[in-house]
Structure 1
Amino acid sequence: MFKPGKRAGLVAARAMTATVLAACGDSSGGSGNELTLWHYEGPDSAMGVAWAAAIKEFERTHEGVTVKFEEKGFEQIQKNAQMVLNSDQAPDLMEYNKGNATAGLLSKQGLLTDLSAEVTKRGWDKLLTPSLRTTCKYDERGVMGGDTWFGVPNYAEYTMVYYNKDLFARHGIKVPTTFGELTAAMDAFVRAGVTPLSLGGKEYPAQQLLYQLALSKADSDWVRNFQTYTGDVNFHDDAWTYGATTFADWVGKGYIAKNSAGIDAESMGTAFMAGKFPIMVSGSWWYGRVQATVKDFQWDTVLWPGSDRTLGSSGNLWVVPANSPNKDLAYDFIDITMGKANQELLGNSGGIPVAADPAAITDPKSKTLIENYQTLVDRDGLAYYPDWPAPGYYDVMVSATQKLINGTASPGEALDELAGPYEENLANVGG
């Protein structure tokens, strides 16, 4: 590999830092009377609503202290976090994705604050179930399920099937409750000239669908081995082969539009909310937004049919950068979001709170959302996300699924693409 001389490397590093910081917005670490907060939830999402209320409560209870909130994009933080957190431009508190490839990697690099003492002191650990704690704690390799707390979630999440009841009724198609009914419904929509699935292949949605298909043939050991390196992983086993082959088959049958390789998650969601597609397979993070936005048709959700496991976990984490100058203020803000009032607001706004009284959730759709989540927890059905195991794996997953949509790779070739970086990282962490 070419290595520039010291001066050239310094110039390049400074240029890169300037570019990244410009992309993330003009920010400072704040001062003792200001908490700098970054997150990427939309203002009409359940988390956006709850956290806006938390900001007001924080400022009410911290006289003379203001919150400098800066909304970032998911992709923006995903790609630039390492550079920003290794500078003096780090915020005091930020939302960050959980898993080995993200929070785990930053913890391994020393960029996140060890929250273990604070978690115990404030009792946050007692509010989280064992499956939720897994994504908060990392070992020295950056692998989740370790002993050290580097993040705290105040919500949970899982994926599901959203469907437009009016479009199903208009075409005389039964709302599916089994996997066979789901494929039969999609066949019927294709015959009617309607593409069944709103899907985004440019970002996370397509890879999550591929993983969901594989999960329908997997067990808990399969998930644990893949996510935490505790056993052998074969990317050409029955589960992965079924997932990739079925995904490619769905493209061929017209369930998935071939132009979806260039569609991002936002466009996928807004197309469904505009009534253009009968089905969307995505996460509970859309739930509150769909609930607030859709007024022109009736909609509902079901758990993915025919599988005990689905994508899900704790929500994204509150993390405190190691360079945060106001860590105590950050802890206080987290505490507000874990409190009873904020948890109940989140739950009644279409989110899944981790510490709310179920009796306080009065909205019918929100109650169904939370009940379905509990069903998954009770059957050990939360299988995390496919891009978590290795740094950079998100882009690998996007590339492989785009090739399946475009037809530029066979299912076997796509699985080979997934296997290489995974196996390299397994060697790096001593697997």
Structure 2
Amino acid sequence: MFRTRAGAVAGAFLLASSLALTACSGSGSDDDDSASDAKTLTLWHYEGPTSAMGVAWNKAIELFKASHPGVEVKFEEKSFEQIQQNAQMILNSDSAPDILEYNKGNATAGLLSKQGLLTDLSDQATKRGWDKKLSASLQTTAKYDDDGIMGSGKWFGIPNYGEYVMVYYNQDQFKKYNLQVPTTLDEFTKVMDAFKAKGVTPLSVGGAEYPAQQIFYELALSKADRAWVDDYQLYKNKVDFHDPQLTYGAQTFADWVSKGYIAKNSAGIKAEDMGVAWEQGKFPMLISGSWWYGRFASEVKNFQWGSFLFPGNKLHPGSSGNLWVVPEKSKAKSLAYDFIDITMQPEVQNLLGNSGGVPVAADSASITDAKNKELIDNFNKISSEDGLAFYPDWPAPGYYDVLVAGVQGLINGSKTPGAFLDEIAKPYNENLADLGK
């Protein structure tokens, strides 16, 4: 999930051009097992090779090749932004891959399922036992109804890992200034004040992509409950965008900028650069997801580090991981189902856990690293307490870019908290109107 933005026009053209060269061979109809004569599986995902998911999925490809002699795997790593911006165009063409990683939620997988671009995996989920391996909370993002709203209906994707947002911290810098891990938001604020008093900007932030909006959402969640999340994410009741939760999130985020907890130049910083800056010890803390964990474990060599849950929150941005989806135009559906099945096997799940990921079907006794166990235990704690609150950009198509631009305005001071909330309310409510809600 080390996401980089592609140019909207140039990126679309280059991606479409490359697709024409990599379309898979083989034949078969849409029936589940009719593509057994296919000799190529074209697979896309956007995980870096050193990430836990990248390591585990490379093993899955290796196992797939061993169990499918004569089948070629054409793997292509795409950026998150390439797939996010161009998925509808690609999957509605004959150049669609056979299987790909895709973002979960109403605005992404839900929208594509509603448009008929994804294969219904319900029969496979039952036949292969995926429904037994995934808890009810993890199944939320795998199922979508006829309106593309998650939580019920047919299976259109299979997650094989979990994820959640946390605080990564430089233990050496905490020790240098005699600071303790905070357990409340008030204590967290005092820690950031202590760093600022020493001339240190506390947080490494990427405002040009997803990380900054997740901080805003964490702050809103500090005042929220499950009913509020269900209203915002599942449209149970109408959301007032000037309610106490969102108002607190926007105002406190703006306050953090004015107090110097978040640097003003972070509005132009991408997620990758945010992560690298933290790895280099330039900032003591970073608020982001578990998808960084494996990379930090392998790359951070110059200081001791750890992680903790956002202090005081019972609800956290998080969910199942991204989904394996099978495009309706896949030419090798049965091979795609076989690959998904391999990613759910103990060998791959245990490797995922030992590489710093959050597996959904691992043998806990096989996870050997204490930090990795802590990572997985924290996720299991959140999941078991119904604390997964999904992500702020899920409720409406195109909402990711709306939130990126809105939070950038809070960082650079071009928008007041009130104007920001008005800005993000409009497309949210327009989507509700389109759904007839």
Same fold, TM exceeding 0.5? yes
Q: Does 1:209 align with 2:226?
A: no
Please report how far the alpha carbon of residue 174 of structure 1 lies from its aligned counterpart in structure 2 after TM superposition.
Answer: 2.6
State how far apart, in whole Å, the 2-side matches of 1:102 and 1:27 are. Answer: 24
Listed one character per residue, the Cα deviations across residues 301-335 of structure 1 (whole Å, up to 9, x for unaligned) are 00111110000100000000011000000000000
Q: Which residue of 2 aligns with 1:76?
A: 82
Residue number among 311, 318, 328 corresponding to 2:334 in the alignment: 328
Instruction: Give the secondary structure class of the aligned counterpart of 1:88.
Output: coil
Please report how far the alpha carbon of residue 176 of structure 1 lies from its aligned counterpart in structure 2 after TM superposition.
Answer: 2.1
State how far apart, in whole Å, the 2-side matches of 1:159 and 1:30 are. Answer: 39
Moved over 6 A (4+): 14-17
Listed one character per residue, the Cα deviations across residues 137-181 of structure 1 (whole Å, up to 9, x for unaligned) are 001111111210000000000010100011112233333232222
State how far apart, in whole Å, the 1-side matches of 2:11 and 2:435 are. Answer: 28
- Tell me the amino acid that sits aligned with residue 127 of structure 1: K
Residue number among 74, 86, 92 corresponding to 2:98 in the alignment: 92
Instruction: Give the secondary structure class of the aligned counterpart of 1:352.
Output: coil
Instruction: Give the secondary structure class of the aligned counterpart of 1:423.
Output: helix
The within-5 A match list for 1:41-56 is 41-56=47-62
- Tell me the amino acid that sits aligned with residue 322 of structure 2: N
Residue number among 25, 28, 33 corresponding to 1:30 in the alignment: 25
Q: Which runs of 5+ in 1 are unaligned?
A: 1-13
The within-5 A match list for 1:26-425 is 26-31=21-26, 32-425=38-431
- Tell me the amino acid that sits aligned with residue 167 of structure 1: Q
Please report the TM-score for the alignment, with normalisation by the length of structure 1. Answer: 0.95
Please report how far the alpha carbon of residue 23 of structure 1 lies from its aligned counterpart in structure 2 after TM superposition.
Answer: 6.8
RMSD value over aligned CA atoms? 1.5
Residue identity over aligned pairs, in percent, reads: 63
Aligned length: 418
Instruction: Give the secondary structure class of the aligned counterpart of 1:291.
Output: helix
State how far apart, in whole Å, the 1-side matches of 2:12 and 2:168 are. Answer: 41
* C-alpha contact 1:30 1:92 (8 A) present in aligned 2: no
Listed one character per residue, the Cα deviations across residues 99-122 of structure 1 (whole Å, up to 9, x for unaligned) are 000000000111100101111110
Instruction: Give the secondary structure class of the aligned counterpart of 2:324.
Output: strand
- Tell me the amino acid that sits aligned with residue 107 of structure 2: A
Please report how far the alpha carbon of residue 395 of structure 1 lies from its aligned counterpart in structure 2 after TM superposition.
Answer: 0.5
* C-alpha contact 1:29 1:88 (8 A) present in aligned 2: no
Instruction: Give the secondary structure class of the aligned counterpart of 2:402.
Output: helix
State how far apart, in whole Å, the 2-side matches of 1:91 and 1:422 are. Answer: 31
Please report how far the alpha carbon of residue 200 of structure 1 lies from its aligned counterpart in structure 2 after TM superposition.
Answer: 0.4
State how far apart, in whole Å, the 2-side matches of 1:29 and 1:149 are. Answer: 24
Distance change >3 Å, CA 371–CA 17, structure 1 → 2: closer
State how far apart, in whole Å, the 2-side matches of 1:210 and 1:194 are. Answer: 21
Q: Which runs of 5+ in 2 are unaligned?
A: 1-8, 27-37
Listed one character per residue, the Cα deviations across residues 3-23 of structure 1 (whole Å, up to 9, x for unaligned) are xxxxxxxxxxx9997555037
Q: Which residue of 1 aligns with 2:3?
A: none
* C-alpha contact 1:247 1:404 (8 A) present in aligned 2: yes
Please report the TM-score for the alignment, with normalisation by the length of structure 2. Answer: 0.94
